[in-house]
C-alpha cells in the first residue's frame, strides 16, 4: 500500500508523516509523476461593501440641499464588522464638509448588538484642503457666491479638522452639534436607518450678519477597517470629495464608490488529498456532509478536523493542510493577489480533490468535483495547465445562508465559531441553491494551475 503523508503545515503546528501500513516494504517508490498545484486568489478588491448617495431631503420631491430643519434619510445594510462613513458639504463655505473620523461609525456595540441613538459626537467638520478658505457666505468663491463650480484659489493642502486649519480667513465655526444631528435607528435584521439633519437654528455668524448653514447632498459607504474616503493629514484622494466639499456635487464620488462596491472574497486555509479513482473522499454531491471536517472548513475556515482525518478518508493516498500563503511565514487565508502552493507525487489513476472556504459566507466552499480531478488523461499523460474550469462553488448544506459579508453568522461577522441556523441539507453546487443572494463566478475568484514537474 502506498505511503500516506499528512502535510507539515497544520494550523501553524508541525505536521506528521503517517503510513497506512506499518510494513514500508509495500510503499511504491516510483511514482508516475510529480505535480505542483497553485491556487491563486484573483478576486477583485472592493473598498466599500455598500455605498450610495443621499440627495433628496425627507418630504421634498426633488434633489437639493437640506436647509435648516430638513434632513436626509437612507437605509443601510451592515454586518458586525462594518462601519458607516459619509461626506456632506457645509454649504456657504469653500471646501468644508462633515463626516466621521478615521474609524467611521460602528453600527454594533462591543458585544455585537445593533445600536440606535445619536452619533453626532462621532462626526466632525473637515477642511478638504483643496481651496483656500474665505469667510463663509461672504467670500466671493464660497459656494453660494461663486460664479461657477470649482472656482477659488487652489490650496494643494491636506484634509484636516477645521479646528486645526490656519490657512485662509480664520473663522469661528459653531460646534458640530449646533449645525448637524446624525442618528442611527436599528430597524430589523442588518438594516439601519441613518438620519442626517440640518438643525433648524443652524446659523453662521458672519461680518454681514447671521447666515444659514445648509447641508449638501452627499455620499455614504459601509466598509471594514478605517474610513476609506479620506485620511486625516493627507491630500484628498481625487475620487470626488473635492466636488462635494467645494460644490455639493456628488456625481464623481457617487460614481467612484459605486464602481468599487462589493464583497472582497478571501479563501480560507484548506485541505488537499490525492485519492484513487472512483472514490469521493471529501464529499458526495447530493448527500449530507460526511462529518469528517468539511463543515468546519466551509463554516469557519477551520482545517483541524479534516486535517486530522486525512488518514481515514476513502481512497486517500496522500494529503495535507494548506494554510500558509506563498511568501508568508505564518498561516492565514489567501487574500486577492496571494496564493497557496503544494507539491506531491502521483500515479496513473490518481485524482486531486481539495476544499477551501469562500470566506464572507456561511458555509460555501471552493473545491473540485466530488470525485476530484484526474491527474492523467486516458493515454497516461500527466495533465498540465489551468484547471480552473474544474473548480466549483459548493454549499455544504450545514448552515442556512445569509447575505455574504453582511449576515450575522457569516464568518467575518459571527460572534463565535459554528454559529448560525443549522440547515441539515445536502452538499450541492451553489448554482443549484436558490438562497436569493448573488455570488461571483469561480473564474473571477480563483485561478488554479497544475504543473507537471
* Cα four-point dihedral sign 246, 252, 255, 261: negative
Residues 6+ apart with CB under 8 A from 207: 135, 138
Are the beta carbons of 295 and 245 closer than 8 angstroms? no
CA 231 to each of CA 30, 54, 397: distance values in angstroms, whole numbers, following the listed order: 59, 22, 42
- Whether the per-residue pLDDT at 3 is higher than 90: the answer is no
- Whether the per-residue pLDDT at 94 is higher than 90: the answer is yes
Burial (CB count <10 Å: 0-12, 13-18, 19+), residue 453: exposed
Mean pLDDT of the chain: 92
Q: What is the pLDDT of residue 169?
A: 64
- Whether the per-residue pLDDT at 49 is higher than 70: the answer is yes
Residues 6+ apart with CB under 8 A from 23: none
Place of cell 456595540: 109
Number of continuous H segments (helices) and E segments (strands) in the chain? 4, 28
Rg (CA), the chain: 28
Q: What's the first-to-final CA gap in the chain, in angstroms?
A: 24
Are the beta carbons of 175 and 161 closer than 8 angstroms? no
Helix (H) or strand (E) holding 28: none
Nearest-angstrom CA–CA distance, 246 and 130 = 8
* Distance from chain centroid for Cα 3: 41
Is this structure's pTM higher than 0.85? yes
Are the beta carbons of 55 and 105 closer than 8 angstroms? no
- Whether the per-residue pLDDT at 99 is higher than 90: the answer is yes
Q: What is the pLDDT of residues 317-368, one digit of tens each?
A: 999 999 999 999 999 999 999 999 999 999 999 999 999 999 999 999 999 9
Nearest-angstrom CA–CA distance, 344 and 346 = 7
* Distance from chain centroid for Cα 183: 25
Dig out the grid coordinates for 411 from the structure: 464568518
- Whether the per-residue pLDDT at 37 is higher than 90: the answer is yes
CA geometry: angle 153, 155, 160, nearest 5 deg: 135
Domains (ranges, CATH) in the chain? 4-45+264-452 (2.60.40.2130), 50-259 (no CATH)
Per-residue pLDDT band for 148 (boundaries 50, 70, 90) equals confident
Q: What is the pLDDT of residue 322?
A: 98
Q: What is the pLDDT of residues 178-235, one digit of tens each?
A: 999 999 999 999 999 999 999 999 999 999 999 999 999 999 999 999 999 999 999 9
Are the beta carbons of 52 and 263 closer than 8 angstroms? no
Are the beta carbons of 419 and 398 closer than 8 angstroms? no
Q: What is the pLDDT of residues 278-307, one digit of tens each?
A: 999 999 999 999 999 999 999 999 999 999
- Whether the per-residue pLDDT at 13 is higher than 70: the answer is no
Are the beta carbons of 395 and 364 closer than 8 angstroms? yes
φ, ψ of residue 118 in degrees (nearest 5): -80, 125
Residues 6+ apart with CB under 8 A from 238: none
Q: What is the pLDDT of residue 35?
A: 98
- Whether the per-residue pLDDT at 399 is higher than 90: the answer is yes
Amino acid at each position: 500500500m502506498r505511503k500516506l503523508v499528512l502535510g507539515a503545515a497544520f494550523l501553524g503546528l508541525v505536521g506528521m508523516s503517517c503510513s497506512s501500513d506499518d510494513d514500508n516494504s509495500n510503499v511504491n517508490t516510483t511514482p508516475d509523476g510529480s505535480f505542483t498545484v497553485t491556487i491563486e486568489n484573483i478576486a477583485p478588491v472592493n473598498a466599500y461593501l455598500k455605498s450610495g448617495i443621499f440627495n433628496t431631503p425627507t418630504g421634498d420631491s426633488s434633489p437639493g440641499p437640506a436647509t435648516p430643519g430638513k434632513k436626509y434619510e437612507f437605509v443601510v445594510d451592515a454586518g458586525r464588522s462594518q462601519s458607516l462613513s459619509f461626506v456632506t458639504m457645509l454649504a456657504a463655505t469653500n471646501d468644508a464638509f462633515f463626516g466621521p473620523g478615521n474609524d467611521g461609525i460602528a453600527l454594533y456595540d462591543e458585544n455585537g448588538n445593533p445600536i440606535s441613538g445619536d452619533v453626532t459626537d462621532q462626526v466632525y467638520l473637515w477642511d478638504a484642503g483643496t481651496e483656500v478658505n474665505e469667510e463663509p457666505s461672504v467670500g466671493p468663491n464660497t459656494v453660494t457666491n461663486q460664479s461657477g463650480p470649482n472656482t477659488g484659489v487652489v490650496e494643494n493642502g491636506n484634509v484636516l479638522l477645521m479646528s486645526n486649519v490656519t490657512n485662509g480667513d480664520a473663522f469661528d465655526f459653531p460646534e458640530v452639534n449646533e449645525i448637524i444631528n446624525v442618528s442611527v435607528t436599528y430597524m430589523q435584521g442588518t438594516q439601519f436607518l441613518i438620519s442626517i439633519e440640518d438643525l433648524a437654528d443652524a446659523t453662521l455668524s458672519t461680518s454681514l450678519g447671521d447666515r444659514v448653514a445648509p447641508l449638501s447632498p452627499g455620499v455614504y459607504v459601509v466598509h471594514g477597517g478605517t474610513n476609506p474616503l479620506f485620511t486625516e493629514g493627507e491630500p484628498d484622494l481625487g475620487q470626488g470629495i473635492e466636488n462635494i466639499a467645494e460644490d455639493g456635487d456628488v456625481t464623481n464620488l457617487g460614481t467612484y464608490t459605486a464602481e468599487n462596491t462589493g464583497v472582497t472574497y478571501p479563501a480560507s486555509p484548506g485541505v488537499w488529498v490525492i485519492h484513487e479513482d472512483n472514490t469521493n473522499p471529501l464529499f458526495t454531491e447530493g448527500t449530507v456532509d460526511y462529518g469528517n471536517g468539511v463543515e468546519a472548513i466551509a463554516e469557519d475556515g477551520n482545517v483541524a478536523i479534516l486535517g486530522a482525518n486525512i488518514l481515514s478518508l476513502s481512497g486517500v493516498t496522500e494529503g495535507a493542510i494548506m494554510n500558509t500563503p506563498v511568501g508568508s511565514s505564518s498561516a492565514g487565508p489567501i487574500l486577492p493577489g496571494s496564493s497557496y502552493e503544494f507539491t506531491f507525487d502521483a500515479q496513473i489513476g490518481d485524482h486531486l480533490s481539495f476544499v477551501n472556504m469562500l470566506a464572507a459566507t456561511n458555509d460555501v466552499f471552493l473545491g473540485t468535483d466530488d470525485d476530484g480531478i484526474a491527474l492523467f488523461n486516458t493515454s497516461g499523460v500527466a495533465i498540465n495547465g489551468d484547471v480552473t474550469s474544474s473548480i466549483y462553488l459548493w454549499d455544504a448544506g450545514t448552515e442556512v445562508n445569509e447575505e455574504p459579508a453582511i449576515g450575522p453568522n457569516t464568518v467575518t461577522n459571527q460572534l463565535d465559531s459554528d454559529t448560525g441556523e443549522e440547515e441539515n441539507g445536502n452538499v450541492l453546487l451553489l448554482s443549484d441553491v436558490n438562497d436569493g443572494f448573488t455570488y461571483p463566478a469561480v473564474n473571477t475568484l480563483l485561478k488554479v494551475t497544475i504543473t507537471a514537474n
